[in-house]
Chain A
Amino acid sequence: MIKVEGLTRAYGSFIAVDDISFECRPGTVTGFLGPNGAGKTTTMRVMVGLTPATRGDVTIGGLHYRDIPNPGRHVGVLLDASAQHAGRTGREVLEIGARTMGLPASRIDEMLHLVSLDSRESKRRVRNYSLGMRQRLGIAHALLGEPTVLILDEPANGLDPAGIRWMRGLLKGYADQGGTVLLSSHLLHEVEQIADEMILIGNGKIVARGTRDELLRSATRGETTTLVTALDNQQLAAALAEKGLVVHPAGDGLRVTAEPVDVGRVAADRQIVLTDLRAGHEGGLEDLFLELTADTQRDVLAGTVSTEVPA
């Protein structure tokens, strides 16, 4: 539904977005991931015509954004929740949107209800809103025109954990009904649970893409790893090393290049009490994300990972 083809955006000699191409399909959530300044926002701004492309093309449903009549009825956009007049009330912000799109006033109440802004809050000026409330208002604004495509830049930013969970459910439901969702984030865990496909971008280039499983496979390079925590990690590490398994420290526990069942068996044999045992791909994705998106950190990270546990 959204098609980005060879998109490049340069500011003088600085290339913010460097020849990227991808597609977002209806009925799916696409996560657009990358650290701050990777080019996510610039890409989304080009999508909706706020920034001209230097080269390349973006179409939504086969049309350039500028050629979509009454675009709010087709594409819901939230690029910056703080880009609202501080002196307007939340309700008035939606009122202006609804009037521009030609929607009945009842739609405003529906949206306020959907994003859990009560009538008292909706009458307050945006100046007095927390970032989380602004995000809710921004999501309400994006959904106002019942669009079939959603483009959201960092929508979870500023939401509390309950709010993030709520938004996940909302977007998932939206995609299940056939909608196309593109959302960006610099936090992997915000996106990996709902995104059907993830696009990782760093320094303006796409560095990896695929479903969660596809990315995991490439992250672990075919190796199976297990995360394990024992009451006595040193004892466990020594026991595993004796069996010839590769062990690295990871957080409070250890990362072992083996199936969880093998690790469990070693622990059982030695009567070592485990407090946590699971397949270790979450960290793998996190590592992949950091590794791919932060060129300057690559060597440092590699060094950390290969550090052996002192016996």
Chain B
Amino acid sequence: MSVAAAYPTLDVSGTPVVPFGRLVSVELRKLADTRAGRWLLISIAALTMLVLIIQMAVVLGQDLHPRFLDFLQGMNTPMGILLPVLGVMSVTSEWSQRTAMVTFTLEPSRVRVVAAKIVSLLVISVLALAVGLLLGSLANVLYGGLSGNVAVWGSVGKYVAYYLLLYVFGMLTGFAFGAVFLNSPAGIVVYFVYSFVLPGLLILAGQLMAWFESIRPWIDFNNDQNDLIDGSVHGSGWAHLFTGALVWLVLPLALGILRIRRAEVK
């Protein structure tokens, strides 16, 4: 230590930067430590369960013969709707609740904070898939018991991988929209317009204009993702998903990160 320094300096030699893993675990904690966050997570699981119960009632009542995969497809709807909301909120709540001021004073590298948030969302995607698989398996076993038929498991490995991709797309698109608007209502509304209104409009436009129909699959990220749900995605489907992700995920994410880096945190 230099004693005679004319100007006192901070001795930072003993303090390493905040490890990235710690940032991720803190971001995970922040997703669940408020009533809003906790209930969002609980509702995702509860809604998934509800969908499976309805599905069970239908298949039993109409004497259908569902496979494990049918139950898994049932869970995609609630996950697909609510996980992106979690993605939006994970970034916008920092601004609406103004906690970004504290977050960015404890970790001045805003890009590291954004990266930690994204990784925490990926972790939640995996957990959501695990919960979904568990509930789906439970439903299938239950179906076997209730219907007297033999539960059909079949091979679902490919679908599990596709669904994970689907959840990650949803989460990150939500996050990107949240980062662009930095406002919860705006982020959520725009995400839902993008997710539920836009696909219909794009198809309509394609029907009206032949030239548009030829480019539509390249930019219609939502409809492209249907090929993941039914497992029919192939060569050109992957290419469509790639370009769709560029337009609706990568581009807004880049804009959002740019905005977060420059924004004055108030």
Contact = CB atoms under 8 A, between A and B. Distances in A.
Interface of A: 1, 3, 25-26, 45, 48-52, 60-63, 65-66, 68-74, 77, 79-80, 82-88, 92, 95-97, 99-102, 125, 141, 148-149, 180
Interface string B37-60: 100000000000000000000000
Given A3-B7, A63-B10, A82-B98, 12 more contacts: A25-B8, A50-B104, A61-B10, A69-B16, A71-B107, A84-B99, A85-B34, A87-B34, A96-B30, A99-B29, A100-B22, A148-B10
A100 B103 CA distance: 9
The size class of the interface chain B forms with chain A is 35 or more
B97 interface: yes
Nearest to B23: A100
B10 A97 contact: no
A73 B29 contact: no
A166 B16 CA distance: 34
Nearest to B101: A83
B264 A84 contact: no
Contacts of B30: 96
B15 interface: yes
Contacts of A63: 9-10, 12
B106 A69 contact: no
Contact of A77 (B22, B105, B107): B105
B36 interface: yes
A60 B7 CA distance: 10
A88 to B, nearest CB: 6
Majority secondary structure, B binding face:
loop
B35 A71 contact: no
Contacts of A65: 108
Contacts, number: 113
Contact of B264 (A51, A71, A125, A148): A51
21 contacts: A25-B8, A62-B7, A65-B108, A68-B12, A68-B108, A69-B15, A74-B15, A84-B97, A84-B102, A85-B34, A85-B97, A87-B35, A92-B33, A96-B33, A97-B102, A100-B107, A101-B18, A102-B18, A141-B102, A148-B10, A180-B8
A102 B22 contact: yes
B207 interface: no
Majority secondary structure, A binding face:
loop
Nearest to A180: B8
B109 A66 contact: yes
A25 B35 CA distance: 43
Nearest to A92: B33
B33 A62 contact: no
Nearest to B19: A102
A96 B10 contact: no
Contacts of B226: none
Contact of A62 (B10, B34, B105): B10
A111 to B, nearest CB: 15
A79 B101 contact: yes
B8 A49 contact: no
Interface string B73-115: 0000000000000000000010001110110111111000000
B102 A1 contact: no
A83 B99 contact: yes
Given A72-B106, A80-B101, A101-B18, A87 B36 contact: yes
Contacts of A85: 34, 93, 97, 99
Contact of A74 (B10, B35, B36, B99): B10
Contacts of B107: 71, 100
Which 5 A-B residue pairings sit nearest by Cβ, starting from the closest? A61-B10, A87-B34, A83-B98, A62-B9, A66-B108
A26 B8 contact: yes
Contacts of B109: 66
Contacts of B34: 85, 87-88
Contacts of B11: 61
A99 B10 contact: no
Contact of A61 (B9, B16, B22, B264): B9
A88 B109 CA distance: 24
Contact of B15 (A49, A50, A73): A73
Contacts of B104: 49-50
A50 B101 contact: yes
B34 to A, nearest CB: 4
A75 B110 CA distance: 18
Contacts of A77: 105
Contact of A1 (B8, B16, B33, B101): B8
B29 A69 contact: no
A268 B159 CA distance: 101
Given A50-B104, A50-B105, A97-B102, A70 B97 contact: no
Q: Which among B15, B22, B26 has the greatest number of chain A C-beta atoms within 10 A?
A: B15
A84 B93 CA distance: 10
Nearest to B14: A73
B265 interface: yes
Contacts of A84: 97-99, 102
B97 A60 contact: no
A59 to B, nearest CB: 9
Nearest to A1: B8
Nearest to A25: B8
A65 B105 CA distance: 9
Contacts of A51: 264-265
A79 B264 CA distance: 14
